[in-house]
Amino acid sequence: MASLVHSRRNFSEFAFISARSTLASYTLRMSMIGKSSTLYLKFLNLVRAMDDASTIPSLDATEERLLTQLANAWAVDKRVTVLEAMNLDAEVSSTTIHRRIKSLKKKGVISLETDETDNRVKYILPTPLATEYFAALSRCMIAAAKGSSLVQ
């Protein structure tokens, strides 16, 4: 009987320690989520401020998404044709993407280069303005992470 009481007490202590550990782990995860969401909100506010004070033209959500997809390809030295870009996003029609390519070109964020061997093929290239746009986003991200509101 004494060993049964002793084992129940050990189990109770184990259950208490386990519950306390789980609660501490949960609290830590929740605080990290809170910090992450706060960081993201700071980043969004800095981007909004950048948009208001920047020489970079305003981009709509589809243009931003397309430019980000193109930047991912450019980052691995992939040349993207207009036709390839029109098929980058299954959720957006190719007609819409083609319009956004024209819009980004008009805004000076991208340029088109004709293929040397086939005049029908056009490559989408970043302009210095696109580089400036991503550099400004990077500065916003760094400032948000540091807790600063200053974006240079």
| Domains of the chain as residue ranges with CATH | 51-146 (1.10.10.10)
pTM score of the predicted model: 0.68
Would you state the pLDDT for residue 115?
Answer: 95
Under 8 Å between Cβ of 82 and 98: yes
Other CB atoms within 10 A of residue 90 CB: 6
Would you state the pLDDT for residue 53?
Answer: 66
Would you state the pLDDT for residue 35?
Answer: 57
Intervals of the chain under pLDDT 70: 1-37, 51-54, 148-152
Would you state the pLDDT for residue 31?
Answer: 55
Under 8 Å between Cβ of 70 and 85: yes
Q: What amino acid is encoded at 146 in this protein?
A: K
Would you state the pLDDT for residue 41?
Answer: 82
Would you state the pLDDT for residue 10?
Answer: 45
Would you state the pLDDT for residue 27?
Answer: 53
Would you state the pLDDT for residue 19?
Answer: 45
Mean pLDDT across the chain? 79
Would you state the pLDDT for residue 127?
Answer: 95
How long is the chain? 152
